[in-house]
Amino acid sequence: MIIGIVQGNPVVGDVEGNLEKAKNFILEGDEKGADLILFPELFITGYPPEDLLYNPAFLEKSQKAVMELQFFSKSVKSAIIIGAPNAGNGYRTPDSLKGQPLYNSAIVFHNGEYIAKYDKIYLPNYGVFDEKRYFIEGRENQTGSIFTLKGIKFGLTICEDIWSKRHEYFDPLKECDIILNLSSSPFYQGKFKERIEVVSSFARHFSKKLVYANLVGGQDELVFDGNSMVCNEKGEVTAFYPAFEEGLFFYNTEEIVTVKPERKKYADILEALKLGLKDYVSKNGFNKVVVGLSGGIDSALTAAVAVLALGKENVKGVMMPSKFSSEGSVTDSVKLAENIGIETFQVPIENVFGSFEKELHPVFKDKKPDITEENLQARIRGVILMAFSNKFNWLLLTTGNKSEVSVGYCTLYGDMAGGFSLIKDVLKTDAYKLSEFINETYGELIPQEIIIKEPSAELRENQKDSDSLPEYPVLDKILTSYIEERKTVREICEEMGNEAQVRKIINLVMQNEYKRRQAAPGIKLTPLAFGKDRRVPMTNRFYEK
């Protein structure tokens, strides 16, 4: 039997577009002899649809699309398994939606007939997931989850179901020959290995082949990486499909070859950034992006990734030197722009800054220059960049990294101004390593002068990041331990040995939640990114001793 595995990239809310995309995949699969075509979780609505699920018109449109797909299945030989929200205890029609519980379902059609349905049992409600907010848990031991095609019995599961350790809830799967899983599992570093272990373990537990179809594409801050796979009864991977690539892939159930899929950390990070940015730009109606070029590593990395994702013709750079800018900040930016082939503009801020100083002097005359004047420069640059964005409809990419965002080393309405924060989940140390990986892979896009330069915001004479922060390898170790690994302050102090430094950094993390709440969205790359993953009150007097 030939199974078509769809790694589709739907658009959340575009039910008509997703339906047409589904039909195209089905026609392709049918033409190439697929007996069954398996879609990812909630493909019809896109994932995650979030509070759109509270809108009756949205649910009705989704249900009508599913009915249209049922009718469409008359025209092909392939059986179709689609992921969609479903109201009521059975497969429902739009006129029966009102007042019915809502399920996250997999629905099977063949030859115009509805032949099976499965409602997701385990609804994830952690990190970026809020499924219990919208859906009712499916019944345990759903006998309706088993259907037969060409003498082969298939059992249905959806995403989180196979991550659960409560295998007894899936006893009907013991009667099937092949387990199918519809997934919308987002990417983060380390997820690849973790996911293979989960899929393998579930297949091994039931001694069944398992076909895993995962979503691909960017949706707001999430990136879905595909990496669909098949495991045999022993839990060995027998087929593996491309990462970060949309397409229809085929699995022959007679295949017995095992494979050893491998991924590299910085290759995956780069592909996630490229796909996440490309989809955010295209799905939100932009054509081009603009980046403020400072001569530093973060703006250089942002611009280089944008070119790789969107093409050099769709990326613009703006240089905004001041009296505190080093000569290298301009020349290095010019060299970067030449290397990546983008058009640039130069708008010096000295005169504008002088006007601000002049107008504020009557109020500030008895005060020494401090962070106020530093932030003024950042905010002037933010205003200029937003002017470019507004005038030309270019999406402004902010350039702050996770290390800076964590401790508030960034300016509200200044360098934080913009529509999308591409590297907000990239630590500073990883920004350097990712830049080096890009140069190794594509040639020197990011000048070495930028990579070896000591980091500086250049908002006052001879300023260096290390004036305010520990060296980045130390800072990033503290941040990783506290944010991603959720270690206690005491544990981190014992590991790092400098209690005063550790407590200072963690206090900065806690104090700057208000800034992060006002930051532009950015791509989730780590197991715990700022945003839905970490919900800490802005008004908060908790102090960890």
Sign, CA dihedral 119-120-121-123, equals negative
Per the annotation, the verdict on 120 as an active-site residue is yes
- Would you say 290 and 389 are in contact if contact means Cβ atoms under 8 Å apart? yes
End-to-end CA distance of the chain: 61
CA distances (Å), 319 to each of 2, 183, 272, 372, in order? 55, 43, 27, 22
* CA dihedral of 271, 277, 280, 282, whole degrees rounded to 10: -90
Give the active site residue among 41, 160, 221, 374: 41
The answer to whether 236 is a known catalytic residue is no
Give whole-number Cα distances, 265 to 10, 189, 220, 373, in Å.
26, 7, 22, 40
122 HSE (CA, 13 A, CB side): 18
- Identify how many contiguous H helices and E strands the chain contains and give both numbers: 15, 19
- Reduced to 3 states (helix: H, G, I; strand: E, B; else coil), residue 455 is coil
Q: Are 438 and 511 in contact (CB under 8 A)?
A: no
Tell me if residue 410 is catalytic.
no
Half-sphere exposure of 418 (CA within 13 A, CB side): 28
Catalytic residue among 21, 61, 159, 484: 159
Helix (H, G, I), strand (E, B) or coil at 534: strand
Out of 117, 120, 335, 402, pick the active-site residue.
120
Q: Give the residue among 5, 89, 76 at the shortest CA–CA distance from 43.
A: 5
H or E element that contains 345: strand 343-346
CA distance 401 to 516: 12
Concatenated DSSP letters of 96-136: G-TT--EEEEEEEEETTEEEEEEE-S----STT--GGGT-P
Q: Let me know: does 444 contact 434? Beta carbons within 8 Å.
A: no
Catalytic amino acids?
41, 120, 159
